[in-house]
Amino acid sequence: MELFPAVEGQRQKSQEKEEGKCGHLGDNEEMARVSTDKKQVKKTGLVVVKNMKIVDLHCSSEELHAGKIALIKHGSRLKNCDLYFSRKPCSACLKMIVNAGVNRISYWPADPEISLLSETSTSEDAKLDAKAVERLKSNSRAHVCVLLQPLVCCMMQFVEETSYKCDFIQKMAKTFPDTNIDFYSKCRQERIKEYELLFFVSNEELHKQILMTIGLENLCENPYFSNLRQNMKDLILLLATVASSVPICKHYGFYCDKTEQSNEIYNQSLPQEIARHCMVQARLLAYRTEDHKIGVGAVIWAEKKSQNCDGTGMMYFVGCGYNAFPVGSEYADFPNMDDKQKDREIRKFRYIVHAEQNALTFRCQEIKPEEKSMIFVTKCPCDECVPLIKGAGIKQIYTGDIDVGRKKADISYMRFGELEGVSKFTWQLNPAGTCVLERNEPESRENGVVRPIPPNEEMHPHKKLCLGNH
Ligand SMILES: Nc1ccn([C@@H]2O[C@H](COP(=O)(O)OP(=O)(O)OP(=O)(O)O)[C@@H](O)[C@H]2O)c(=O)n1
């Protein structure tokens, strides 16, 4: 998966394509993409995992591939790590990460980092690189593989239901009770198109050729080939579905409430697209929950004062977590009932560790007081977590506010509203109005670096919304 939306150009291209071709690019379209893509750096995302814990998220920059960035950042600490790439890494990356002693390298079986979907003049080099990768692979201790399994039964249905019912969609439905715009479905169609363009090779022959060249000839025969493509499509659909739970809508986003503070705080806020992207990461994590009823995910990022070598711009990953019982506990070790259960002893709340608490506990970077650190959490922080977030020195919270003010016996959401000293950006209608939002999305930016333009009085804060235009 691309980790940051530096793919804006590609998305625009996908949006420009005609409606009604959802999910399936024709051959001409694919060839057009191939030729327009020829000069672009292939964006690649990378997840670094150690002892089953995510320790970093990287993506390629203009100058460096994701694998090289990981090497620069972690050096020999990559030893025994598992690496998950959104494209098969090139030989230059592979030789270094193999040399660092990584344990396993998994990759997405479409176009590799040195693109094979390019013109003949460069494809000779791409083929040579693919051969070198195979040679490195066969001579290395690391296990290099495609990790792509069929989704478990009913997973898609579950993800669809929970995405559709999630707080962000519910909040929009409450805001616009009289409209029959289905934000979720509209956004989902757009995300499917976008992700198929990014992650899929729609032309079967081209895909087969790529698989042959990158050493996956075993997967070129049916039924393996059709199974592989189906698994890829299912996963793309799943990702698009989760992403649609935080829809891209011009008039909706993560904003601070108090208008008197908004100029100052607004200047500090992330561009909406980046905030949404981080929230989708948190939404994905929520599916790992051990709570039978509700999954919550949290991701912490921070911003350095200067540019990173990473494609994430100034932002770097600090930690992530989801709600679960204490590490090492077995199924049914702890009670898991909710507050509807009369007997308080068998309620889950005293045992389950919250998403924010796990993100803070298992973070892999310190939270530095001089840097802007931010937490993205899919459910409003409860009274137990609010002081922890503040105490840890986190400067910004991005979340939903559907639970704010809820008071239950064993979990309450009263303190978030009163929290001071931490900027709160909740999922809501842009309080400043349409014009501001249009300016809030800069035309070009490099991952989190360019600031949105702050609102000012000259704009028309009460301009009527144009709901169809999102
Ligand atoms: N910021 C938060 C808020 C809650 N949780 C987790 O969310 C679950 C509790 O959710 P809540 O909706 O408050 O309680 P339920 O009883 O599950 O649901 P409800 O009362 O809404 O029916 C717990 O696992 C808790 O750890 C969390 O991880 N982080």
ipTM of the complex: 0.96
Residue 343 phi/psi, 5-degree rounding, is -75, 110
List, in sequence order, every residue forming a beta bridge with 303; answer none if it has no partner: 315, 372
Residue owning the nearest CA to atom 9 of ligand 1:
294
Domain ranges of the chain: 45-139, 155-247, 253-434
| CB distance 411 to ligand 1 below 6 Å | yes
| CB distance 273 to ligand 1 below 6 Å | no
Report the atom number in ligand 1 closest to the C-alpha of 381. 1
| Both tokens assigned to 292 | 């039978």
265, 181 Cβ separation under 8 angstroms: no
Identify the H or E element spanning 424.
strand 423-429
Q: Report CA(90)–ligand 1 centroid distance (Å).
A: 43
CA distance linking residue 377 with residue 230, whole number of Å = 32
The model's confidence at residue 20, banded by pLDDT at 50, 70 and 90, is very low
Mean per-residue pLDDT for 81-104? Answer: 97
Of the chain, the percentage scoring pLDDT greater than 70 comes to 81
Confidence at residue 464, expressed as pLDDT on a 0 to 100 scale: 29
Q: How many CB atoms lie within 10 A of CB 118?
A: 19
Instruction: Look up 63 and say whether it is catalytic.
Output: no
Q: How many CB atoms lie within 10 A of CB 267?
A: 12
Q: How many CB atoms lie within 10 A of CB 49?
A: 16
Three-state DSSP class for residue 317: strand
Given a cut of 90, whether residue 449 has pLDDT beyond it is no
Any idea what the Cα angle at residue 39 is, between residues 33 and 44, rounded to 5°?
Answer: 80
CA distance linking residue 186 with residue 196, whole number of Å = 16
CA distance linking residue 82 with residue 76, whole number of Å = 13
Confidence at residue 470, expressed as pLDDT on a 0 to 100 scale: 24
Mean per-residue pLDDT for 373-399? Answer: 98
Choose one of 165, 289, 290, 294 to mutate for the ligand 1 pocket test, by most ligand atoms within 8 angstroms of C-beta.
294
Any idea what the Cα angle at residue 277 is, between residues 87 and 104, rounded to 5°?
Answer: 30
Region of poorest pLDDT, from 258-267, 281-290, 345-354: 258-267
Residue owning the nearest CA to atom 29 of ligand 1:
354
| CB distance 315 to ligand 1 below 6 Å | no
CA distance linking residue 153 with residue 415, whole number of Å = 40
| Both tokens assigned to 268 | 């500090």
List, in sequence order, every residue forming a beta bridge with 376; answer none if it has no partner: 299, 398
Report the atom number in ligand 1 closest to the C-alpha of 380. 1
- Looking at every residue in the chain, the average pLDDT score rounds to 84
Q: Report CA(337)–ligand 1 centroid distance (Å).
A: 11
Given a cut of 50, whether residue 406 has pLDDT beyond it is yes
Given a cut of 90, whether residue 24 has pLDDT beyond it is no
Whether 253-434 and 45-139 are alike in CATH topology: the answer is yes
Confidence at residue 250, expressed as pLDDT on a 0 to 100 scale: 86
| CB distance 352 to ligand 1 below 6 Å | yes
Identify the H or E element spanning 123.
helix 120-138
Confidence at residue 289, expressed as pLDDT on a 0 to 100 scale: 96
The model's confidence at residue 41, banded by pLDDT at 50, 70 and 90, is low
Report CA Rg, the chain.
23
CA distance linking residue 1 with residue 103, whole number of Å = 20
CA distance linking residue 35 with residue 29, whole number of Å = 10
Q: Report CA(284)–ligand 1 centroid distance (Å).
A: 17
Confidence at residue 390, expressed as pLDDT on a 0 to 100 scale: 98
The model's confidence at residue 259, banded by pLDDT at 50, 70 and 90, is low
Chain segment 450-462, per-residue pLDDT in tens: 334 444 433 333 3
Q: Report CA(293)–ligand 1 centroid distance (Å).
A: 8
Of the chain, the percentage scoring pLDDT greater than 90 comes to 70
Residue 101 per-residue DSSP state: T
Mean per-residue pLDDT for 219-230? Answer: 96
Q: Report CA(54)–ligand 1 centroid distance (Å).
A: 23
For the entire predicted model, the pTM comes to 0.85
Given a cut of 70, whether residue 11 has pLDDT beyond it is no
| CB distance 385 to ligand 1 below 6 Å | yes
Q: Which of 124, 61, 66, 116 is CA-nearest to residue 96? A: 66
Which architecture, in CATH terms, is 253-434? 3-Layer(aba) Sandwich (3.40)
Region of poorest pLDDT, from 25-29, 359-363, 459-463: 459-463
The model's confidence at residue 148, banded by pLDDT at 50, 70 and 90, is confident
**Sign of the dihedral through C-alpha 19, 23, 29, 32:** positive
Given a cut of 70, whether residue 17 has pLDDT beyond it is no
Q: Report CA(349)–ligand 1 centroid distance (Å).
A: 8
Mean per-residue pLDDT for 344-363? Answer: 96
If one compares 98 and 456, the residue with the highest pLDDT of the two is 98
Residue owning the nearest CA to atom 2 of ligand 1:
381
| CB distance 300 to ligand 1 below 6 Å | no
Region of poorest pLDDT, from 97-111, 115-129, 158-172, 297-311: 115-129
| CB distance 293 to ligand 1 below 6 Å | yes
Of the chain, the end-to-end C-alpha distance in Å amounts to: 24
Three-state DSSP class for residue 466: coil
CA distance linking residue 387 with residue 415, whole number of Å = 9
Given a cut of 90, whether residue 393 has pLDDT beyond it is yes
Which architecture, in CATH terms, is 45-139? 3-Layer(aba) Sandwich (3.40)
Given a cut of 70, whether residue 42 has pLDDT beyond it is yes
Confidence at residue 228, expressed as pLDDT on a 0 to 100 scale: 97
| CB distance 294 to ligand 1 below 6 Å | yes
| Both tokens assigned to 33 | 């993409």
Given a cut of 60, whether residue 425 has pLDDT beyond it is yes
Residue in 2, 29, 303, 356 annotated catalytic = 356
Report the atom number in ligand 1 closest to the C-alpha of 338. 16
Cβ partners under 8 Å of residue 165, min gap 6: none
